[in-house]
């Protein structure tokens, strides 16, 4: 279960990074939009930090997508 959870979190982090780059956003700009700190966002994208559900929702909203869309391709 732990391996599966880690894999899911890693895939979500990768998707957030892809969406951020596709939208031409820096860490600083996305963090500002999501109302999270830049280091927190960077750590989430790099897998050093696990996002809470609330933080994941904030990031998804700041990217203009639903969290369910971020999760739909995660296995």
For the segment 5-61, what is each residue's pLDDT rounded down to a tens digit? Answer: 888 899 999 999 999 999 999 999 999 999 999 999 999 999 899 999 999 999 999
CB 58 within 8 A of CB 35: yes
More confident residue, 2 or 56: 56
Q: Out of 2.102.10.10, 3.40.50.800, 3.40.50.10310, 1.10.260.40, which CATH number does the structure's domain 2-71 have?
A: 1.10.260.40
The tokens for 42 are: 């960077």
Contact indicator for 28, 59 with CB cutoff of 8 Å: no
According to the model, what pLDDT value does residue 1 have?
Answer: 61
Side-chain-facing half-sphere of 50: CA atoms under 13 Å: 8
């Amino acid at each position: 279960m732990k391996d599966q959870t880690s894999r899911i979190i890693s895939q979500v982090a990768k998707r957030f990074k892809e969406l951020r780059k596709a939208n031409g956003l820096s860490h600083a700009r996305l963090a500002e939009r999501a109302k999270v700190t830049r280091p927190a966002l960077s750590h989430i994208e790099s897998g050093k930090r696990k996002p809470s559900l609330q933080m994941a929702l904030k990031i998804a909203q700041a990217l203009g997508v639903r969290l369910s869309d971020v999760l739909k391709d995660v296995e």
